[in-house]
Amino acid sequence: MEKLVIEGGKLLHGEVKISGSKNAALPILAATLLTDETCVIRNIPRLRDTMTMVKLLRSLGKTAELTGDCITISQKGHLNHVAEYKLVSTMRGSFCVLGPLLAKLNKAKVSLPGGCVIGVRPVDLHLKGIKALGAKIEIEGGYVIATTRKLKGAHMYLGGAFGSSVLATANVMMAAVLADGETIIESAACEPEIEDLTNFLMAMGAKIEGKGSPRLVINGVRKLKGVQYKIIHDRIEAGTYILAAAATRSSIIIKNGCFEQLMALTDVLNQAGVKVIEENGYVKVKPGRRFSPVNVSTYPYPGFPTDLQAQYMALMALTPGVSVITDKVYPDRFIHTAELNRMGANIRREGINAIVQGVKKLYGAPVMASDLRASAALVIAGLAAKGRTEVHRMYHLERGYEDLDQKLLGLGAKVWREKE
C-alpha cells in the first residue's frame, strides 16, 4: 500500500491532459455483454475501477485485450450469469452488469455492490426498473437473483428521493434494449455519461429516442452488433484540476476539459473570482486577486456535481468569509470535513449542510482518504497548504484518477509516492 506525499505551496503551471471518463467507461464496458460480436473501445482510462470491470467481464466469459487506452472485447464461449461478490463488492459500478446479463441470458445473479463509503446508496431503483420489465427478483445470500422468460417493455418512473439515478438508468436502459416492445423511462438521468452510453448502444443497433433528456423511449431489438467506439473525457477529473488550480492561485491549461459539461462549476467559480474560459478547444483557469465565498448545492446533472463537492470545499476552506455547501444527492458525503479540519480548516456539519469559515492558510498533515472524491479534496488541500501532507490509502485515488501524481508533476507540483 502506498501514500501520496505533497510538499505544498507550489504554483501550478503548464498544461494537463484529461483522460477518458471512468463513469462512462464502466457501463459501456458492461454493455458489451449484450452482443456476441467484438467491440473495440478507445479512450479507456487505466484505473483500478476499469480494471476491476475488465476482470469481471473476463469472469463472465468475455475476453479482453488492452493496448494503451484501447480495449478489444470479444466472446468465444457461453456467458456466465453469476457476477461474484469478490469483484462486485469492491466497486458499485460493477452492479450495472445486472441489466445486460438478464437481457442476454434471461437470468442473472449479481452480488450486491460495494464502493466508496459516502452514505446509503440503495439499489431499489435498479430493482424497480428491472421488475417493471417483467423480471422476478429475489435477494439471497447477498446476491440479487433475477429471472425472466422474456423481458417486456414497460412505462416506468425512475426518480428517487434524491432525484434520478445514473447507474439505475444505465442498468434499466441496457435491459430494455433487448426487451420485447417499447420501454419509456421517466425521470431518467441526464448525465453526459448516460448520453455516452446511449450513443454506444445506438451504434450497436439499439433504438433509443430522447438522448440526454429525462424521458427515454426504447424500442427493443432482437440482436445487437459489435462496434468501435471512443468514450468521452472525464468531466470530474477536469473539474478537479480546475479546482486545484484555483486553490493554489495558479493559471493552467486543460486539454479535453469538458467545458460545456462543467457550466455549473465554472459559473460558481466565476462568481468566486476564478476566471475559467474556453479558448481554441482548451480550458484556461486564471484566478483573480481576491476570492469570494459562494454557496453551493449539489443536484443531478446539469446541476453542480456531487462528485466535485469535496474538491470545492477544499477551495472554500481557503476563501475568506462563510460559505454553505449542501449535498442533496448524497447527504452523508461529508467524511472529508474532519480531515480538512486536521489541516487547519474551519468546517462544521449541520445535517445536509457544511458550514465553511474560510481561513488564511492550511497546514500540511497526515490525512486519511475515505473515498475517491474525498481523496482528491485532500490532495487539493495539500497542494495549497504550507508544509508536507501525506494522503494515506492512495488506492482510493487510483480508482478514479489516471496517473494523478505524474500529471501533477507535469504541472510543477512537488509530489511523490511512498510505501505506507
User: Which residues participate in catalysis according to the annotation?
Assistant: 116
Joined grid coordinates for residue 393: 490509502
Cβ proximity of 17 and 255 under 8 Å: yes
Q: How far apart are alpha carbons 394 and 378 in whole angstroms?
A: 11
DSSP per residue over 72-99, as a string?
A: EEEESSPPP-EE-HHHHTT-GGGGGGHH
Which stretches within 106-148 are classed as H helix? Answer: 124-132
**CA of 294: how far to CAs of 128, 131, 186, 359, 374, in Å?**
38, 42, 33, 15, 20
3-state SS assignment for residue 100? helix
Q: How far apart are alpha carbons 172 and 137 in whole angstroms?
A: 14
**CA of 286: how far to CAs of 263, 269, 413, in Å?**
16, 10, 17
Peptide bond into 302 cis (omega under 30): yes
3-state SS assignment for residue 167? helix
Cβ proximity of 334 and 363 under 8 Å: no
Run of H or E residues at 140: strand 136-140
Q: How far apart are alpha carbons 195 and 20 in whole angstroms?
A: 15
Q: How far apart are alpha carbons 240 and 359 in whole angstroms?
A: 21
Q: Which residues contact 304 (CB under 8 A, 6 or more apart)?
A: 264, 265, 268, 296, 297, 298, 312
DSSP per residue over 339-401, as a string?
A: HHHHTT-EEEEETTEEEEE--S--B--EEE--SHHHHHHHHHHHHHSBSEEEEE-THHHHTT-
397: left (phi over 0), alpha (psi -120 to 50) or beta: alpha
